[in-house]
Amino acid sequence: MKKSTLAIGLTLITLLVACERKEHVSIIPIPLSVELQTKVFTLNEHTQLWTNASNGEETFLKEYAIKHQLGVWSDERPVSNAIILEIVDTLPDIETPEGYMLLTDKSGVKISALSEAGLFYGIQTLLQMTSEEKTIAHGKIIDEPRFEYRGMMLDVSRHFFGVDFIKKQIEAMAYYKLNHLHLHLTDAAGWRIEIKRYPELTQQAAWRTHALWKDWWNNDRLYINKEEENAYGGFYTQEQIREIVDYAQKHYITVIPEIEMPSHSEEVLAVYPELSCSHIPYKESDFCAGNDKVFEFIENVLLEIMELFPSHYIHIGGDEASKQSWKECLLCKARMQEEGIDSVDELQSYFIHRIESFLNAHERNLLGWDEILDGGLAPNATVMSWRGTEGGLKAMRMGHRAIMTPGEFCYFDAYQDAPHTQPEAFGGYLPLQKVYSYDPIPDTLDSKTAKLLYGVQGNLFAEYIPTEEHMEYMAYPRILALAEVAWSAPKNKSFEDFHARALKAVEDLRTKGYHPFDLCHEVGNRPGADKPVRHLGVGKQVVYADGSAYYKGYSAGGDSALVDGVRGGWTYGDKHWQGFLGRKGVDVIIDLGKTLPITSISADFMQICGPGVFMPACVIISISHDGETFTELKREDIKVVKDDAVTFKTFGWEGASKARYVRYQAQRSDFGGFLFVDEIVIK
């Protein structure tokens, strides 16, 4: 489609305005309190560094500060042209060990903190506020985090990423004051860590037949020996894990390992089939909960994991277990009878409790996805809430800690801009502004319970992320937005201000060799989704025919959703698309209240084949004067084809007629799945 010269000119002006940045100190996450002046202190080759940190921490702080050209080391405390890093006993207005106070005047910079971690975060702020001319504004910054846990999860199972890449992400995480790296080390797509007692895990379970997860998943899903031709995979040796953990610790980041159980264990059961209920390779994804050899295997694995990772938490997954094989397994049935268990959900709870007891005996605590609530939560477990926030809130109300990572705000495998402009993603639409808008503590939560909210985490599952460049593209700058959610006081947050700082951060990341999303040229949400649409049906009564009820999980607001004047965006998860899963599909009648002239009737549908969302196979549009006898205006048959695209189409009628009642029908294709409709527009 051609655009006029005027339209092109206006587009360029819009981009230029969007990319302008305010000339002010740009710090992410925004500190608690900032008082700056126009005067500046200038770093030079004679600036001296000094700290009173001890216990070996001073060595890294010294090396880190020198590496980032903050000065030369001094064994004596300098009085001028200095950067002082000082541990103190108390600090006004600072309650957490990660807090700090930064003072700048003509003599230099002084960072005071209650711990070395606080000094380190003060250094990150200092680095961000230092100009290209090496000047630092005089003033005072008081800062501390809102949440203790500020995390990012990297999926290294679906596609493997090497040690240098992980260390590179640790550097960026530290710069933006994130302090937990969650490594998704095992899943069906590959086992990624050396376990000396079970060599087949890295000899075969770490290697597959296809490099791209999608190709492997859509074929036979086979594992092969690492020496075989075209074997794709990889794993971290125990020495490499120690290297990663040590590097993270020096950047005040805790690495949390995730070893999946009882499900997502196809790779284990392919090489050790005796640990499944059937003992047949490639048949099941769940460990057998009735087999004591399973617990022997898991405990032996965890012993080696705990030796490598000093993390207080060990993540055991716990999500999406089908538990189907348990229903027929004689060993599982015997276990249930022996333990007085009535359901497979309770059997899963038994499984999780047993693993937790083992971890607790070794002074570690269990962390798992919110499915670990099913059947009863283990006594000391912490819940990572991904299926919305309710699981985390439920755990907190039970007295447990929770980490919030709901897919709506925290799953960075979703598209971050218009899908047709982006590399293939898992689906959905999660732009920077949406991430930034997240507040983990709802107004309804009392202050005592809110204290159990340990923090937040951004997740990067890698089904559709095969390269290092792509992984960084999906992470940055969205993880920066979540870093500010996790660290900064809500009262200090402003998306307009953050967007300006994020534009600068993207440029900074690029100069450091990262591959962030080009925020400057963001397209934005689907046209029409940003403002209400006016039409004859808005606010009118909608009747759903028998067998055509919408799916409760995607109600988009209920019976009025299809005529509320709100268009859906790039994802059915934005709560503006109504989903239909029943056999009958969409069959609704809209009562306009009186007979009116009508010139068009239309509705939009989407297709994303991966999660099972398809176009309709047939659309029928009819009208009536009495609501009983309908005249068909249009019938359109659609050939639905599976593809990898994210597609939006409008199906409608145009003409001239009169009616009081409008009937819109859309039939599901042979592929089944969901139909998603955003608004039935009548004009």
Mark whether 121 and 194 lie in a shared domain.
no
Give pLDDT, residue 29.
Answer: 98
Query: Of 576, 583, 590, which is closest to residue 547 (Cα–Cα)?
Result: 583
Mark whether 84 and 193 lie in a shared domain.
no
Query: What's the burial of 2, exposed, middle or buried (CB within 10 Å: 0-12/13-18/19+)?
Result: exposed
Q: Is residue 11 part of a domain?
A: no
As a 3-state breakdown, the chain gives helix, strand, coil percent values, each rounded to 5, of 30, 25, 40
Give pLDDT, residue 20.
Answer: 41
Range 282-291 average pLDDT:
97
Give pLDDT, residue 24.
Answer: 60
The answer to whether residue 23 scores a pLDDT higher than 90 is no
Range 638-644 average pLDDT:
94
Q: Is residue 258 part of a domain?
A: yes
* Structural domain span for residue 561: 541-682
Tokens of 302: 């965890």
How does pLDDT run across 114-143, given as a tens digit for each residue? 999 999 999 999 999 999 999 999 999 999
How does pLDDT run across 384-416, given as a tens digit for each residue? 999 999 999 999 999 999 999 999 999 999 999
Give pLDDT, residue 199.
Answer: 98
* pTM of the model as a whole: 0.94
Mark whether 564 and 672 lie in a shared domain.
yes
Mark whether 190 and 133 lie in a shared domain.
no
The answer to whether residue 25 scores a pLDDT higher than 80 is no
Task: Give the dihedral sign, CA 155/158/163/167.
Answer: negative
How does pLDDT run across 351-392, given as a tens digit for each residue? 999 999 999 999 999 999 999 999 999 999 999 999 999 999
Residue 391 and residue 406 in contact, taking contact as beta carbons nearer than 8 Å: no
Mark whether 346 and 246 lie in a shared domain.
yes
Range 420-442 average pLDDT:
96
Mark whether 509 and 566 lie in a shared domain.
no
* Average pLDDT value for the chain: 94
Task: Report the CATH number at residue 249.
Answer: 3.20.20.80
Q: Pick from 100, 127, 143: which residue ends a domain? A: 143
The answer to whether residue 21 scores a pLDDT higher than 60 is no
Mark whether 507 and 599 lie in a shared domain.
no
Local confidence band at 28 (pLDDT 50, 70, 90 cut-offs): very high
How does pLDDT run across 517-543, given as a tens digit for each residue? 999 999 999 999 989 999 999 999 999
Query: Of 660, 611, 614, 653, which is closest to residue 636 (Cα–Cα)?
Result: 653
Q: Is residue 526 part of a domain?
A: no
Which amino acids are annotated catalytic? 187, 264, 320
Mark whether 330 and 356 lie in a shared domain.
yes
How does pLDDT run across 223-266, given as a tens digit for each residue? 999 999 999 999 999 999 999 999 999 999 999 999 999 999 99
Mark whether 304 and 186 lie in a shared domain.
yes
Q: Pick from 460, 491, 521: which residue ends a domain? A: 521
Task: Report the CATH number at residue 673.
Answer: 2.60.120.260
The amino acid occupying position 266 is E
How many domains, in total, are found in the chain?
3
Task: Report the CATH number at residue 58.
Answer: 3.30.379.10
Strands (DSSP E) along 609-645, which ranges? 618-624, 631-637
Mark whether 83 and 226 lie in a shared domain.
no
Mark whether 249 and 375 lie in a shared domain.
yes
Give pLDDT, residue 583.
Answer: 87
Query: Pick the residue with more confidence: 20 or 645?
Result: 645
Cα dihedral 184, 185, 189, 193, rounded to 10, equals: 170
The answer to whether residue 214 scores a pLDDT higher than 90 is yes
Q: Is residue 297 part of a domain?
A: yes
3-state secondary structure of 630: coil
The answer to whether residue 582 scores a pLDDT higher than 90 is no
Give the helix ranges, DSSP H, for 398-522: 407-410, 432-436, 447-450, 468-475, 478-487, 495-511
Q: Say what angle helices 163-175 and 116-129 make with each other, to 10 degrees.
A: 80
Mark whether 139 and 157 lie in a shared domain.
no
Local confidence band at 56 (pLDDT 50, 70, 90 cut-offs): confident
Q: Is residue 170 part of a domain?
A: yes
Task: Give the dihedral sign, CA 547/551/555/561.
Answer: negative
Query: Of 5, 131, 143, 117, which is closest to residue 61 (Cα–Cα)?
Result: 117
Q: Pick from 124, 143, 162: which residue ends a domain? A: 143
Give pLDDT, residue 54.
Answer: 86
Give pLDDT, residue 591.
Answer: 98
Tokens of 38: 């126009």
